[in-house]
């Protein structure tokens, strides 16, 4: 069963986006319908696009809403041998640094956590560029991070994603799809790129995705997703994770070594295209509802 790691920064980023667009609508006298599901909760449904069936995350929601019940059954608390990992990474931020440094260090954190928890990385805020890293950090900090980024192999694919889930019926339909053989085959194809990135593996994802899209007619639609694959090989162990500052090098290097021994890749799934479209669709739906009622 494929797992995805959703870190604290990504959760806060999603919650901020959800609150922001709700606030803008509220200022214009537009209220989202009660059935509307915020982006920070819909991401758990969007991960369907990456064949992700389980979530490893420190984020929890206490609610009896259908979407929260759906999420709660698929979440587990992450293992973390170093409880101060986030603090140690954020201590690397230079004084007066901008928000880009948060994005960089959060990605490093999520990669380490993903290795420790045998999971892929769920990302919406974006993968920083090498130029951004060099601009934000001193060379001794930037170099190992740039070595990680330069080793990423990006694959952009059009794959089945949820259109919108706003009711118990919608969630029930997703449960049916998740339990289906066609989704099982799709998820299996995604698990394969945890071990190989050859063209056959990508082609299998594409083929199984087309089958799933057909099976989910009316609930699924094609959306662009970026799969950034990091092959954990000796060069990455030595020149990247093993070269992080201070005690981070030992801990991250040991995790990367184990990953290398298991011949595994870390896959970063970027769901930003889906997130942008979901936000646009939610806003358009809310404004159209107001227009239909003759409100201003």
Q: Specify the number of domains making up the chain.
A: 1
Average pLDDT rounded to a whole number, residues 175-193: 93
Cβ neighbors of 61 (< 8 A, separation 6 or more) are 41, 68, 71, 72
- Return d(Cα 124, Cα 270) in angstroms, integer: 5
pTM of the full structure: 0.90
Q: Given the structure tokens 């090098």, which residue do they identify?
A: 249
pLDDT in tens, 241-275: 999 999 999 999 999 999 988 878 999 999 988 88
Choice among 216-230, 238-252, 269-283 with the minimum mean pLDDT? 269-283
What distance in Å separates the CA atoms of residue 192 and residue 49, rounded to the nearest whole number?
Answer: 15
Residue 296 pLDDT class (50, 70, 90 cuts)? very low
Report strand pairing: 265-270 vs 3-5: unpaired
Task: Say whether pLDDT at 240 is over 50.
Answer: yes
Give dist(CA 209, CA 183) in Å, integer.
9
Q: According to the model, what pLDDT value does residue 208 have?
A: 97
Question: What confidence score (pLDDT) does residue 41 get?
Answer: 84
pLDDT for position 294 = 57
Between CA 190 and CA 195 the distance in angstroms is 10
Backbone angles phi, psi at 69, to 5 degrees: -65, -40
Q: What digits encode the pLDDT tens for the residues 94-143?
A: 887 778 899 999 999 999 999 999 999 999 999 999 999 999 999 999 99
CB 68 within 8 A of CB 89: no
For the stretch 35-69, pLDDT in tens is: 677 888 888 888 989 999 899 999 877 666 777 77
212 close to 161: Cβ distance less than 8 angstroms: no
Domain that holds residue 88: 3-293
Report the candidate in 184, 137, 204, 172 with the shortest Cα–Cα distance to residue 67: 172
User: Per the structure block, which two tokens stand in for 67?
Assistant: 């979407």
pLDDT of residue 178 exceeding 60, the answer is: yes
- Strands 265-270 and 220-231, sheet pairing: antiparallel
Give the tens place of pLDDT for each residue, 76-89. 999 987 788 989 99
Q: Cα separation of 296 and 283, whole Å? A: 15
Give the model confidence (pLDDT) of 5-44 as tens digits.
999 999 999 988 888 877 887 887 777 666 677 888 888 8
- Contact residues for 77 (Cβ-Cβ < 8 A; gap 6+): 56, 57, 58
Where on the phi/psi map is residue 72: left (φ > 0), alpha (ψ -120 to 50), or beta?
Answer: alpha
Q: Quick one: what percent of the chain has pLDDT higher than 70? A: 92
Average pLDDT over residues 197-216: 92
Res 219: pLDDT: 82
What is the CB neighbour count within 10 angstroms for residue 218?
7
């Amino acid at each position: 069963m494929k797992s995805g790691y959703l870190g604290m920064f990504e959760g806060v980023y999603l919650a901020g986006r959800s609150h922001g667009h709700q606030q803008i609508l509220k200022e214009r006298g537009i209220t989202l319908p009660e059935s509307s599901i915020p982006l920070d909760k819909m991401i758990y449904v969007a991960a369907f696009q990456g064949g992700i069936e389980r979530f490893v995350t420190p984020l929890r929601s206490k609610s009896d809403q259908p979407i929260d019940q759906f999420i709660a059954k698929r979440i587990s608390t992450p293992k973390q041998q170093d409880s101060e990992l986030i603090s140690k990474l954020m201590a690397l931020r230079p004084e007066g640094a901008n928000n880009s440094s948060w994005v960089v260090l959060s990605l490093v954190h999520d990669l380490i956590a993903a290795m420790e928890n045998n999971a892929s990385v769920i990302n919406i805020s974006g993968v920083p560029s090498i130029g951004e890293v060099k601009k934000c950090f001193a060379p001794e900090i930037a170099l190992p991070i740039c070595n990680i980024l330069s080793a990423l192999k990006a694959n952009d694919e059009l794959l089945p994603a949820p259109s919108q889930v706003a009711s118990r019926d919608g969630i029930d339909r997703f449960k049916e799809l998740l339990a289906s053989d066609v989704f099982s085959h799709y998820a299996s194809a995604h698990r394969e790129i945890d071990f190989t990135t050859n063209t056959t593996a990508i082609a299998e994802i594409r083929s199984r995705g087309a089958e799933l899209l057909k099976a989910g007619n009316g609930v699924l639609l094609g959306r662009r997703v970026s799969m950034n694959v990091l092959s954990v090989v000796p060069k990455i162990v030595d020149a990247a994770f093993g070269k992080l500052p201070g005690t981070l090098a030992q801990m991250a290097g040991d995790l990367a070594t184990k990953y290398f021994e298991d011949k595994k890749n870390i896959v970063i799934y970027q769901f930003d295209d889906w997130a942008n479209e979901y936000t646009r669709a939610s806003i358009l739906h809310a404004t159209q509802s107001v227009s239909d009622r003759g409100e201003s």
